[in-house]
Every structure is written in C-alpha cells, then in structure tokens.
Amino acid sequence: MERKSPIRITTEQFFHDIAGITFFTMRYFRNLFRSRFEFNEFILQCFRTGYNSLLLVGITALILGLVLTIQIRPIIADLGAEAWLPNMVFISVVTELGPVIFALLFAGKVGSGIGAELSSMRVTDQIDAMEVSATNPFNYLVVTRVTATTIMFPILVFLGDLLAFVGSFIGLKAYSDITFKLFYSRAFGDFFFSDIFPATIKTIFFGFFIGIISSYMGYFSGKGTEGVGRAANAAVVASSLVIFLLDLIAVEITDLIVY
Amino acid sequence: MEQDRILHISNLHKSFDGRKVIDGVDLSLISRENLVVLGKSGSGKSVIMKCIVRLLEPDQGSIHVFGTDVLNCSEKVLNTVRKRIGYLFQEGAMYDSMTVRENLLFPVKRDEKMRRLGEKALNEIVERNLESVGLIDAIDKLPAELSGGMKKRAGLARTLMLSPEMIIYDEPTTGLDPHTAGSINELILKVREIYDTSSVIITHDIKCARVTGDRLVILHDGKIIIGGTYEELKNSQDEEVSIFFN
C-alpha cells in the first residue's frame, strides 16, 4: 500500500474538515428550522456559555481598557491630543480589540469545553445511545450549543465593551482630574452607528463559528481519550484561526461599504 | 416460522481501511430467542450489531429487522424500527450530565406517543423499570456515582423505557466481577420473561453464553464458523470452537 507523506495527510485532513464543517453547518440550519427545538437544553447552554464566561470576559475587558489608556496616554499627550484619548480607546476596543480578544478567550474557554464534552460523549457511546433510541443527538447537542454561542457571544462583547470603557476611565482618572461626564462625552463625541454595527455583526459570526467548529471537532472525534484531548485542542486552534480570517473579511467588507 | 423471524442478516460484509472485518455473515433471530454471538475481542461482533441499528453502513449485504429492510429505508422508518430495538452498550452509555431518572426519561420525552402519557405516568414507568433491574435506590444519582455493574443495569432500564421487542447486549458482563456478572446474566433472563423480548448477546464470556443463550454462534475471522446449542458447540472437535470451552 502507498505510504502517504505527513504533508499530504495534513492537506487531506484540512480539506476534509472544510467540507465536513460546511455540511455540518447546513445540517445545523436544517435541524434548527425543521426539528423540535430543545428549549431547556438551550437555556442551560446559554447559562454555561454566557453567564459562566462573564467573569473572565469582564476582568479581561476592564484590564484591556485600563492598559490601553495607560500605554497610549503619554504618546497622545506628547502630540497634544489627550482630549481624543477616550474616543480613540473606545473605538479601538469596540470595533477591533474587544471582539477579537473576547472571541479568542471565548474559543479557549467555551470552544474547548464543547469540543471535549462532545468528544467524550462520542467515545463513551453516549451519542450512539441517543441515536439508537431514535432521538436526534444533533438537535439536542449541536443545535442548542451553536445557537447559545451565537446569541451569548455578542451580549458578552457588549458587556465587555462597557467594562473596557470603565477601565479606560479609571486609567485616565489616575493621571488627570477628568470627570466621568467629560470622559463620556469625549468617548462618544465622534462615535457613529457605522462604528458599532459592523462590529456587532462580526461578533454574531464569531459566536456562530466558535460553536460550529467546536461542535464539529467534538461530534466527529474518536480514538479514545487521546481523541478527547485532540478535539478540545483542535476546537481552540481552528476557532482562533477562523476568528482572524473572519475579522479580515469583516474589515474588508466594512471598508468597502462604509468608506 | 418465517413470521416469527424478527432479524435476518444475509451476506454481510464490512471493511475498515481495506481490512475485512465482516466477511459474508448470515444470521437470524426468532421471537423470544436469546442468541449469543461468541467471538474473540476484535472479531467484529460489535460491528455486526452496529450495522443492525445502522450506526455503521455495511459494504454489502442485507439486514431485515421486523420485516423492514433497515439498510434501504428512510430515516423516519429507521427510527420506528430503532424504537423497537433496545441497545445496551458495553459501559452502559449513561448520559453523564443527567441523573439516572433523567437518563430514563430522555428517550420517552422525545417520543410523541409516550410524551402524551404525562409526567406522572412516565415517572411511574421509570420507577417500575428501575425496580425491575434492582436500582430504585439510585434513581437520583449521577452516573459518576454508580459502579460498572450499576451503570449496565441503569443502561438496561433505559433501553426498556420504549418497551423494545428485541434487545442487543454488547458485552454485558465484560469488566465485572463474577458475582455481578452472574446477576447481570440473571437479569437478561428476567427481562425476557417480564418484557417478552428477544435478544442478541455478544460476548466472549463463556459463562454468560451458557446461562443466557438458547443458541450460540461463533464468529471467527469475520465469518460465522458454527452455530448450535451450548452442548453441541462444547462437543465440537473444531479447534477454533474448543478454544472457547477450554
């Protein structure tokens, strides 16, 4: 039998996964609209993916706002444009840094959890057990998780943006006597709907693809406990790559439409 | 006789990565019969069972369950057939995140007919089934709190929830101490008496085969090499057969 080179195996696996995720996504939409929606499981997954990630995203957001402000302030001050600082930090957090950094955190926490959970269910025959009892494991396990990540991630980003705003204010207040009212008016002074809308759309896609990719990696894993580790790992790596790819596409589209 | 036949497998073939695992298997099961499929580990016993419920697609052959060609039917028809089959997995396959009660309620809550019975009636069925497998005290425990034998009992109770007419037992006594294995064997016989089921039991445990089986077949190199009662097989001069009995 012909022995395949590692490069060929990796390339084949890559295209196999691309095709697999495409069919998996189509199956998600088919099940979402045609099958009975598992509402209780969906609420549980919203709690797990959203509420349980709140502290992590919140602390990161607060520090992000704080650090950005402290680091940028001296440079901006040298240029005599300190009044622009709140707006600059807020726009960079809302449009770019917030969604991407929170998405990477979300992929690490929630994506790896979904990948590991589904793959361990696969390894211990739990998914097969659902299938042979004529229930729909895809509907129960995948549709609920993907819908939950798609809805909860934009909400997390919104809350994260608010906390980054607070962090930025704390950072600036430490070096100046700016009032919250003035900080608020400067932050939102040149802030437009066109800044927030593409970023929000982007977060919906981030949440959706983190859910889909992680579920795919877990649902089709195998080969014992090693498969569980690999699924969790692959969920994070693939989701992170897709986040950057989607971000690039979103920036290009926004650039074309808005400017 | 033909109408009593609830499972008929003909000329079944299955390969994995070019390696033939099942090579022309023919098998049938009649009503209320306990058929034991004996074979060494990796001989393909589980593969045949997974083909029966179409968890795996065979390369060639036909499988009729309750007269339905399960390899060439719609998903809807397949699910109707699956509801009439109970499948007890090797480790019980209990859903980790649910209690034993929730595990048992899971398939019935997703069955239109059963759901109409209402919460109270379903809970009564859960309790009755757990009592019949001797596990009523574990009703609100999580699978992680159960021993290996208890998980198999709980798994069996779950398969009984949809009142199956045929049960597939995948290595029911593997990994259990002799005492617990003995109680599982008794349970298999008890389930047939109470629930009027037919069973396919795949195992390499000769004691389990002797106690539970009406008829035994031996799978070797992907083929059924012999079939008969325990006594007939025990007296066989075939070297591959005598390995199991010595």
Q: What's the Rg (C-alpha) of chain B? A: 18
Name which residue leads in pLDDT, B40 or B95.
Answer: B95
CB contact under 8 A, B82 and A121: no
Residue A147 is assigned to a structural domain of this protein: yes
The verdict on A130 touching B (C-beta cutoff 8 Å) is yes
pLDDT tens, position by position, A170-213: 999 988 888 989 988 888 877 777 778 888 999 999 999 999 99
Residues A50/A155, Cβ–Cβ less than 8 Å: yes
The verdict on A129 touching B (C-beta cutoff 8 Å) is yes
pLDDT at residue B168 in the model: 96
* Alpha carbon distance B222, B214 (integer Å): 22
Nearest CA-CA partner of A91 in A69, A111, A60, A74:
A69
Residue A15 is assigned to a structural domain of this protein: no
The verdict on A25 touching B (C-beta cutoff 8 Å) is no
pLDDT at residue A146 in the model: 98
The full set of domains in chain B, from first to last, is 2-84+167-245 (3.40.50.300), 97-163 (no CATH)
The verdict on A36 touching B (C-beta cutoff 8 Å) is yes
* Alpha carbon distance B109, B123 (integer Å): 11
Residue by residue, DSSP assigns B88-152 as: E-TT----TTS-HHHHHHHHHHT-HHHHTT-HHHHHHHHHHHHHHTT-GGGTT--GGGS-HHHHH
In which band, very low, low, confident or very high, does the pLDDT at B158 lie, cut at 50, 70 and 90? very high
The verdict on B16 touching A (C-beta cutoff 8 Å) is no
* Strand bridging mode B223-228 / B215-220: antiparallel
pLDDT at residue B239 in the model: 79
pLDDT tens, position by position, B162-216: 999 999 999 999 888 888 889 899 999 999 998 899 999 999 889 999 999 999 9
Burial class (CB in 10 A: 0-12, 13-18, 19+), B183: middle
Best residue in B55, B100, B109, B165 to probe A by mutation, most A CBs within 10 Å? B55
Tokens matching residue B100:
């034993």
pLDDT at residue A56 in the model: 96
Q: Count structural domains, chain A.
A: 1
pLDDT at residue B226 in the model: 87
Of B55, B90, B96, the CB nearest to A132: B55
Nearest CA in chain B to A122: B93
Give the gap in angstroms from C-alpha B115 to the nearest C-alpha of chain A: 13
In which band, very low, low, confident or very high, does the pLDDT at B3 lie, cut at 50, 70 and 90? low
Nearest CA in chain A to B17: A1
B29 strand-pairing partners? B7
Best residue in B65, B79, B81, B85 to probe A by mutation, most A CBs within 10 Å? B79
Burial class (CB in 10 A: 0-12, 13-18, 19+), A196: middle
* Alpha carbon distance B159, B200 (integer Å): 14
Chain A residues touching B52 at Cβ < 8 A: none
- Number of cross-chain residue pairs from A and B with Cβ atoms under 8 Å apart: 57
Q: Tens of pLDDT along chain A (259 residues)?
A: 566 787 887 888 888 899 999 999 999 999 999 888 999 999 999 999 999 999 999 999 999 999 999 999 999 888 888 888 888 888 899 989 999 999 999 999 999 999 999 999 999 999 999 999 988 999 999 999 999 999 999 999 999 999 999 999 999 998 888 898 998 888 887 777 777 888 899 999 999 999 999 999 999 987 788 889 999 999 999 999 999 999 999 988 888 877 6
Residue A94 is assigned to a structural domain of this protein: yes
Q: Scanning the structure block, which residue is given the tokens 């349970």?
A: B187
In which band, very low, low, confident or very high, does the pLDDT at B2 lie, cut at 50, 70 and 90? low
Nearest CA-CA partner of B222 in B88, B71, B26:
B26
Nearest CA in chain A to B158: A133
Residue by residue, DSSP assigns A13-80 as: HHHHHHHHHHHHHHHHHHHHHHSPP-HHHHHHHHHHHTGGGHHHHHHHHHHHHHHHHHHHHHHHHHTT
The verdict on B55 touching A (C-beta cutoff 8 Å) is yes
pTM over 0.95: no
Residue A11 is assigned to a structural domain of this protein: no
Residues B113/B162, Cβ–Cβ less than 8 Å: no
* Alpha carbon distance A150, A205 (integer Å): 7
* Alpha carbon distance A197, A200 (integer Å): 5
Nearest CA in chain A to B18: A1
How large is the average pLDDT for residues B22-42?
A: 91
Residue A16 is assigned to a structural domain of this protein: no
pLDDT at residue B89 in the model: 93
pLDDT at residue B1 in the model: 52
Contacts of A251 (CB under 8 A, 6+ apart): none
Domain containing A175 equals 22-258
pLDDT at residue B43 in the model: 85
CB contact under 8 A, A132 and B110: no
Using CA of residue B139, residue B142, residue B146, residue B149, what is the dihedral sign? positive
Torsion angle, CA of A215/A221/A225/A228, rounded to 10 degrees? -20
The verdict on A124 touching B (C-beta cutoff 8 Å) is yes
Chain A residues touching B70 at Cβ < 8 A: none
CB contact under 8 A, B93 and A135: no
* Alpha carbon distance B154, B137 (integer Å): 11
The verdict on B23 touching A (C-beta cutoff 8 Å) is no
Residue A106 is assigned to a structural domain of this protein: yes
In which band, very low, low, confident or very high, does the pLDDT at B233 lie, cut at 50, 70 and 90? confident
pLDDT at residue B137 in the model: 93
Residue by residue, DSSP assigns chain B as: -GGGEEEEEEEEEEEETTEEEEEEEEEEEETT-EEEEEE-TTSSHHHHHHHHTTSS--SEEEEEETTEEGGGS-HHHHHHHHHTEEEE-TT----TTS-HHHHHHHHHHT-HHHHTT-HHHHHHHHHHHHHHTT-GGGTT--GGGS-HHHHHHHHHHHHHTT--SEEEEESTTTT--HHHHHHHHHHHHHHHHHH--EEEEEES-HHHHHHH-SEEEEEETTEEEEEE-HHHHHT---HHHHHHH-
CB contact under 8 A, B96 and A134: no
* Alpha carbon distance A242, A231 (integer Å): 16
